[in-house]
């Protein structure tokens, strides 16, 4: 339930709220004063009690924080106002009446909050709950307490309590029926335009005329008003259709007020000074026309809302359909619907265009079967029969042959619907042309194969050229060494040394290129030989310590004692990995030390079977910028161009390490910080073997 927003206490809200509380007290008091001016002739019974409707409207619109104003206003009206009019009513009756009236308003307000009822009376359901809770229900509380209090203090005889409760209840109910809906509907001022205000002026004139004809308000009409009582209903239909609840509530305030005024002055159809029959007739008449008008307006407004929602839904549906049609046409998608029991197949325009057939031909399952490519017909039919048999969606790809001989690759998907017994009854699906996708895939495959062939040709060419160049290079190096053994001058010895050194550098380069080309061409085949990893690594480190010592750095080796003494691996490639890692570390380290650590990763170590070893080479060299680390393992790549100028090399060493370790079931990674050194981690797999198997191998 939505109430009006709270006032902001930081901007004078508390003072405004207090003033509003006093205003509501005065409003209820004036409503009570008006109610005491509307008693029926010779009977101290008010036709309508406005304070009941005003109090409930205050609580519904502004919330329970204004309950003090309701209590005080009701007390002034029920306790003080009768004394002001010199009525001989015991003061206790006024107190009990105050309790009954405030309790009635609070019950109705609590019911709205508890059941979360809407304050908008624009739907028949909301209006029904309002009448049930507020008009018919809660007001009975005040009437019951008030009636019994009058009998308790001997104001009325006990035998008329029932009649008093009824008249009290109807008076409060009429106050709630006429006042509260008016306040709820007019809590927001309408945005009527000038023609609507002019039309409402015409309604006002018609209401005055009808009030005179029915109630003889101004004493002009002398014709029997009985047949004219029904003239109000066309007016209510007019007002309810044009102005909805606002118009109806305003019309009822005006028409009802004129009717009550005329009746208490003994005019009109309902004048009766003998008993309460006229009172009840007037109240019943006003109740019927008020409820009729409110329900008529609510039904009309709900109908217009439903019509508007339907229009918006249809517009949205049309927009969605247009977008779907555009999407299906642009994507060459066709939509189909297969009525399984009747073997009827319905195609949309996209399907006709896709299959190249006329609409008159696409009505049966056989039409689709005839369009299938002969090589795909069996599989496609099997796919759809499987979907029907397994009661699952249809998902298949096949080729079709159009009447002009064109072959299209079709992707089909459909949703299967079944009846309550689980029998397939309908299949709705789509077909879309994948021919261009298939053609593009074929081109990609062809291009990939061509690129791979070109890459293999390049690698084979490099391998062949490396072999061709290595043969004369071996001759150059060999004769340079022979020449060094002859009698040469000091200068000639220096020249020959340069030739030998250059030849060895070039030979190393050729070896790297040859190895890389073999790896990329897939011609590297790992061999399995027994090897003792510890002695192999120690021998290598002994050789490299001399080179490290020349640069003033130390080389340390740490071997995991858990490494098995006998391993089956490719010692040649393993030695190549160690050489590249250690030589790189020495090359890029000018001071400090290099640490080589070899350890076993698995725990526990198997006595026989595959294990993983890790080589860790840590240096205190120049380090690597983390931004270029991902590029290190690309061929011919180094950290930057200055590295090549300062240290030389081609950048193939790390690539060979990576490819060889991957061939051996491992991987390579690096951690480095510029200027702080680098750590390379290389893993590989080997097979642990027993000493007996090693001896058996060597005995062969």
Closest of 122, 174, 195 to residue 281, by C-alpha = 174
Residue for token pair 């051996």: 664
Per the structure block, which two tokens stand in for 20?
């509003």
Most confident of 255-264, 268-277, 522-531: 255-264
The string of DSSP letters for 54-93 reads HHHHHHHHH-GGGHHHHHHHHHIIIIIHHHHTT----HHH
Provide the 8-state DSSP code for 552. Answer: T
The share of the chain scoring above pLDDT 90, in percent, equals 9
SS3 content of the chain, % helix, strand, coil (to 5): 60, 15, 25
**Is the separation of the CB atoms in 180 and 253 below 8 Å?**
no
Task: For 616-665, give the secondary structure using H, E and C.
Answer: EEEECCCCCCHHHHHHCCCCCCCCCHHHHHHHCCCCCHHHHHHHHHHHCC
Say what the pLDDT of residue 326 is: 66
pLDDT average, residue stretch 110-132: 88
Please write the tens of the pLDDT for every residue from 146-158. Answer: 888 888 888 778 8
Top pLDDT among 41 and 261 is at 261
Provide the 8-state DSSP code for 400. Answer: E
Least confident range from 65-74, 377-386, 423-432, 536-545: namely: 536-545
Q: With bands split at pLDDT 50, 70 and 90, how would you rate the model's confidence at 224?
A: low
Distance CA 535, CA 507 (A): 27
Closest of 145, 274, 150, 249 to residue 190, by C-alpha = 249
Where do the domains of the chain lie? 1-187, 189-330, 332-433, 443-520, 529-699
Please write the tens of the pLDDT for every residue from 401-416. Answer: 988 888 888 888 889 8
Say what the pLDDT of residue 67 is: 92
pLDDT score of 233 more than 70: yes
Say what the pLDDT of residue 466 is: 62
pLDDT score of 655 more than 70: yes
**Is the separation of the CB atoms in 387 and 416 below 8 Å?**
yes
pLDDT score of 648 more than 60: no
**Is the separation of the CB atoms in 71 and 100 below 8 Å?**
no
Top pLDDT among 248 and 1 is at 248
Distance CA 217, CA 215 (A): 5
Closest of 65, 299, 53, 269 to residue 178, by C-alpha = 53
- The class (CATH top level) of 529-699 is alpha beta
Say what the pLDDT of residue 650 is: 53
pLDDT average, residue stretch 552-558: 88
Q: How far is CA 378 from the centre of its chain?
A: 43
Q: With bands split at pLDDT 50, 70 and 90, how would you rate the model's confidence at 646?
A: very low
Least confident range from 193-197, 274-278, 546-550: namely: 274-278
CATH number for the domain whose boundaries are 443-520: 1.10.287.130
pLDDT average, residue stretch 657-663: 83
Give whole-number Cα distances, 364 to 336, 393, 397, 427, 508, in Å: 11, 20, 20, 13, 75
pLDDT average, residue stretch 223-240: 78
pLDDT score of 81 more than 70: no
Closest of 524, 589, 519, 585 to residue 557, by C-alpha = 585
Please write the tens of the pLDDT for every residue from 668-687. Answer: 888 888 888 889 999 988 88
Mean pLDDT of the chain: 80
pLDDT score of 379 more than 60: yes
Say what the pLDDT of residue 316 is: 82
- The class (CATH top level) of 1-187 is mainly alpha
**Is the separation of the CB atoms in 615 and 579 below 8 Å?**
no
pLDDT score of 55 more than 90: yes
Task: Identify any residues that bridge with 686 across adjacent strands, giving them in sequence order.
Answer: 611
pLDDT score of 575 more than 80: yes
The CATH architecture one would assign to domain 332-433 is: 2-Layer Sandwich (3.30)
Say what the pLDDT of residue 308 is: 87
Least confident range from 31-35, 85-89, 374-378, 599-603: namely: 85-89
**Is the separation of the CB atoms in 222 and 276 below 8 Å?**
no
Distance CA 354, CA 364 (A): 16
Top pLDDT among 271 and 580 is at 580
Q: With bands split at pLDDT 50, 70 and 90, how would you rate the model's confidence at 52?
A: very high
Closest of 142, 106, 140, 134 to residue 118, by C-alpha = 134
The share of the chain scoring above pLDDT 70, in percent, equals 81
pLDDT average, residue stretch 590-612: 79
pLDDT score of 645 more than 90: no
Q: Give the number of C-alpha atoms closer than 13 A to the C-alpha of residue 234, restricted to the C-beta side.
A: 6
Say what the pLDDT of residue 181 is: 93
């Amino acid at each position: 339930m939505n109430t009006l927003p709270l006032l902001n206490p930081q901007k004078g809200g508390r003072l405004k709220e207090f003033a509003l509380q006093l205003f509501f007290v005065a409003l209820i008091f004036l409503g009570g004063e008006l109610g005491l001016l509307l008693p029926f002739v010779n009977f101290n019974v008010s036709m309508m009690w406005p304070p009941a409707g005003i109090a409930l409207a205050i609580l519904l619109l502004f919330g329970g924080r204004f309950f003090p104003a309701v209590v005080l206003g009701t007390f002034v009206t029920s306790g003080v106002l009768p004394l002001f009019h010199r009525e001989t009513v015991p003061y206790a009756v006024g107190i009990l009446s105050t309790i009954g009236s405030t309790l009635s308003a609070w019950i109705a307000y609590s019911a709205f909050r508890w059941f979360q009822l809407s304050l908008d009376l624009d739907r028949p359901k909301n209006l029904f709950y309002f009448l049930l809770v507020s008009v018919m229900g809660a007001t009975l509380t005040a009437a019951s307490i008030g009636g019994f209090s009058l009998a308790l203090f001997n104001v009325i005889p006990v035998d008329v309590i029932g009649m008093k409760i009824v008249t009290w209840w109807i008076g409060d109910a009429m106050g709630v029926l006429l006042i509260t809906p008016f306040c709820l509907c007019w809590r927001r001022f309408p945005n009527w335009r000038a023609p609507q205000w002019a039309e409402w002026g015409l309604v006002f004139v018609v209401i005055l005329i009808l009030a005179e004809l029915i109630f003889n308000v101004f004493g002009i009409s002398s014709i029997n008003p009985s047949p004219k009582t029904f003239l109000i209903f066309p007016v209510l239909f007019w007002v309810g259709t044009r102005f909805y609840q606002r118009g109806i509530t305003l019309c009822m305030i005006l028409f009802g007020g004129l009717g009550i005024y005329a009746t208490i002055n003994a005019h009109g159809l309902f004048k009766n000074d003998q008993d309460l029959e006229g009172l009840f007739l007037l109240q019943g008449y006003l109740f019927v026309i008020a409820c009729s008008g409110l329900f008529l307006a609510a039904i009309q407004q709900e109908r217009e809302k439903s019509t508007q929602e339907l229009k918006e839904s249809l517009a949205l549906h049309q927009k969605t359909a247009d977008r779907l049609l555009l999407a299906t046409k642009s994507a060459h998608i066709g939509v189909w619907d297969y009525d399984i029991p009747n073997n009827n197949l319905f195609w949309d325009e996209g399907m006709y265009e896709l299959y190249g057939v006329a609409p008159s031909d696409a009505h049966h399952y056989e039409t689709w079967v005839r369009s299938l490519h002969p090589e795909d017909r069996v599989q496609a039919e099997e796919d759809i029969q499987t979907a029907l048999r397994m009661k699952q969606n249809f998902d298949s790809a096949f080729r079709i042959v159009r009447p002009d001989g064109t072959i299209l690759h079709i992707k089909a998907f459909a949703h299967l619907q079944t009846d309550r017994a689980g029998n397939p009854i309908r299949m709705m699906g789509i077909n879309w042309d994948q021919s261009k996708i298939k053609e593009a895939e074929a081109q990609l495959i062809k291009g990939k194969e061509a690129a791979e062939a070109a890459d293999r040709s390049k690698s084979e060419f490099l391998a062949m050229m490396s072999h061709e160049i290595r043969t004369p290079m071996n001759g150059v190096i060999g004769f340079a060494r022979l020449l060094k053994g002859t009698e040469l001058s000091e200068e000639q010895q220096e020249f020959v040394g340069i030739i030998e050194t250059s030849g060895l550098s070039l030979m190393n380069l050729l070896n790297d290129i040859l190895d890389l080309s073999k790896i990329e061409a897939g011609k590297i085949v790992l061999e399995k030989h027994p090897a003792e990893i510890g002695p192999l690594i120690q021998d290598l480190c002994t050789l490299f310590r001399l080179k490290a010592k020349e640069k003033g750095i130390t080389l340390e080796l740490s071997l995991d004692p858990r490494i098995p003494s006998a391993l089956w691996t490719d010692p040649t490639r393993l030695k190549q990995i160690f050489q590249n890692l250690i030589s790189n570390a020495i090359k890029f380290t000018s001071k400090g030390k290099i640490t080589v650590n070899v350890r076993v990763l698995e725990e526990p170590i198997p006595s026989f079977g595959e294990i993983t070893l890790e080589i860790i080479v840590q240096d205190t060299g120049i380090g690597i910028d983390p931004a270029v680390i991902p590029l290190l393992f690309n061929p011919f790549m180094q950290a930057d161009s200055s590295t090549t100028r300062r240290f030389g090399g081609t950048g193939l060493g790390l690539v060979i390490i990576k490819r060889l370790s991957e061939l051996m079931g491992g991987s390579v990674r690096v951690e480095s910080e510029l200027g702080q050194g680098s750590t390379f981690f290389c893993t590989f797999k080997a097979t642990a073997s027993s000493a007996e198997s090693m001896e058996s191998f060597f005995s062969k």
